[in-house]
Amino acid sequence: MYLINCFFIYSFLGFLLETGIAFLTHQNFQSGILYGPITPIYGIGVVIILTVSHYFFMNLHLPRWRESVIVFFILVAVLTLLEWLGGVLIERIFGIVFWDYSQLPFHIGHYISLEISFLWGFLSLLLIYVIKPVIDPIVKGIPSFVTILFLFLLLIDFICTWIHLKS
């Protein structure tokens, strides 16, 4: 249940982050495609970050700074792939291009940019060393029935979004 709860907490925090950025920059964009206050790509990304970092920190047996450098570059690659896959799937399934990095100097298509990829790497380390220790007590305190309720609500949100965008 821990990773599922992480998915929900960080999907919600990702939604708040993007909504806050849109408000502060006076841009008119919506975080994610769902009706509810979550952006699943953030939750998926965090679950990947936690899983990958845990695996390497448990198995490399190197000084922590070296493990962190290795994890940084692995997460840059994995999260870049996730961002590309997420963009392609959203475009294919829902017919929406949700982000476009083609205006950035080091872009590959409109879903990948080297600048953003390295940003994800740095944010991953920030998450691992700063944010996770603060959020973990909240995540671990969520009862199972609440997690199941959130899963049910997420399913309803996906169905409603699908129906609305396909009509």
**Is position 120 within any domain?**
yes
**Is position 139 within any domain?**
yes
| Mean pLDDT score across all residues of the chain | 90
**Is position 60 within any domain?**
yes
pTM: 0.86
**Is position 88 within any domain?**
yes
**Is position 71 within any domain?**
yes
**Is position 32 within any domain?**
no
Stretch among 3-7, 94-98, 117-121 having the lowest mean pLDDT = 94-98
As a dihedral over the C-alpha atoms of residue 85, residue 24, residue 26, residue 86, rounded to 10 degrees, the angle is 10
**Is position 31 within any domain?**
no
What's the pLDDT at 32? 74
pLDDT band at 95 (very low <50, low <70, confident <90, very high): confident
Handedness of CA 69, 70, 75, 80 (dihedral sign): positive
Structural domain span for residue 53: 2-24+44-159
pLDDT at 31 over 80: no
What's the pLDDT at 111? 87
**Is position 36 within any domain?**
no
| Single-letter amino acid, residue 136 | D
Q: How many domains does the chain have?
A: 1
pLDDT, tens digit, 9 for 90 and up, residues 62-87: 999 999 999 999 999 999 999 999 88
